[in-house]
Amino acid sequence: MTNEIIFTDRMKISYSLLSTNAEKWVIAFYGYGQQADVFAPLAKTLEGKYNLLVIDLPLAAEPTAIEKKTFITFLEELTTLYQIKKITGVSYSMGSRFNLVMAECRPDLIEKLILVAPDGIRMRIWNRFSTSTLLGTYIFRYLVESKNAYATWIRFLYQLKLMPKSMYAFSKWHMRDLECRSKVYNAWMNMKKMIPTLRTLRINQSRYAFDIIAFFGESDSIINHACRKKLARHIPSAKIVTLKKGHNLLDEELFNTIVELL
């Protein structure tokens, strides 16, 4: 079952209900390049115990940055529609920006946060430069539209050992042609304002006493050890679990662990 709420003529957010007929709620957020059905195995396990609602990454006809207040308005529409009192947020990678902002702006709704390879904890300088400055956006757009510029650039970085092999392969795959590069560009521009304020999140967690559990891959070069260290430093009470894996953490084993945490 899929529904959508449109906020402007260019930006819309859609969601899917994967399991129903329960009193408690899990709201999930997937990562870039995924769809709601990545949580289907989790939904099957939760059927009758938790309602699982998956919020999609924002869709836009052209790069349009979604505001925090827009997302929270959307969230409040959902909580009113389905009479949701408390939420356990489960998220992977880029979807964790939504999860963290949810806890930042509506901590009263949060039962628990479960973060998997969470993006949004630590923003790299080149990420901010390429999405939030005129020069950076111009260069980013050029690398997207040029047939060979991006591939040449990351090969140069890789040969200089300035880019890990796993990140090189990840980046090369997601930027392999114009269509893919445009999707990456739009996603980054759409989500550039969905960056949580960790200080506020720490205060909220202390005040509302919800748990934060974060899973990281030991060999993840995308969401790396620096992200783990920053989360531990800014929110000391967060429980951090390091798995002997890379970036692709969503699997049956982890879903079983998540069910145990609910």
Q: What is the pLDDT of residue 10?
A: 62
Asked if pLDDT for residue 66 goes beyond 60, the answer is yes
- Out of 190, 208, 236, a domain closes at 190
Residues 112 and 221 in one domain: yes
| Same domain, yes or no: 186 and 203 | no
Same domain, 153 and 235: no
Q: Give the chain's domain count.
A: 2
pLDDT at position 6 is 59
How far apart (Å, rounded) are the C-alpha atoms in residues 231 and 238?
8
Within 8 A by CB and 6+ apart from 46, the residues are: 19, 22, 26, 52, 259, 262
Encode pLDDT of 237-251 as tens digits.
999 999 999 888 999
Tell me: do 200 and 158 sit in the same domain: no
Contact (CB, 8 A) for 98 and 91: yes
Whether the pLDDT of residue 76 is over 90: the answer is yes
Amino acid making up residue 49 = K
Q: What is the identity of the amino acid at 151?
A: A
| 113 and 147 inside one domain | no
- 108 and 232 share a domain? yes
Distance between CA atoms of 262 and 258, rounded to whole angstroms?
A: 6
* 131: containing domain: 125-190
Are 15 and 90 in the same domain?
yes
61 — pLDDT class (breaks 50, 70, 90): low
Mind listing the pLDDT tens digit for each residue in 143-186? 888 888 887 877 877 777 767 776 777 777 777 888 888 888 88
Boundary-marking domain end, from 190, 205, 237:
190
Strands (E), the chain: 2-6, 11-19, 24-29, 50-55, 59-60, 87-92, 110-116, 211-217, 239-243
Pick the more confident residue, 222 or 172: 222
Query: 55 and 17 share a domain?
Result: yes
Judgement on whether residues 115 and 9 belong to the same structural domain of the protein: yes
**pTM, whole model, 2 decimals?**
0.88
Q: Judge if 10 and 107 occupy the same domain.
A: yes
Is the pLDDT at 60 greater than 60? The verdict is: no
Q: How many residues are there in the chain?
A: 262
In this structure, the strands spanning 50-55 and 24-29 are: parallel
Shared domain check, 200 and 184: no
Same domain flag for 112 and 241? yes
The domain boundary residue, chosen from 133, 167, 190 = 190
Model confidence over 91-125: pLDDT tens digits? 999 999 999 999 999 999 999 999 999 998 987 77
Instruction: Indicate which CATH number applies to the domain containing 249.
Output: 3.40.50.1820
- Give me 32's structure tokens: 């870039």
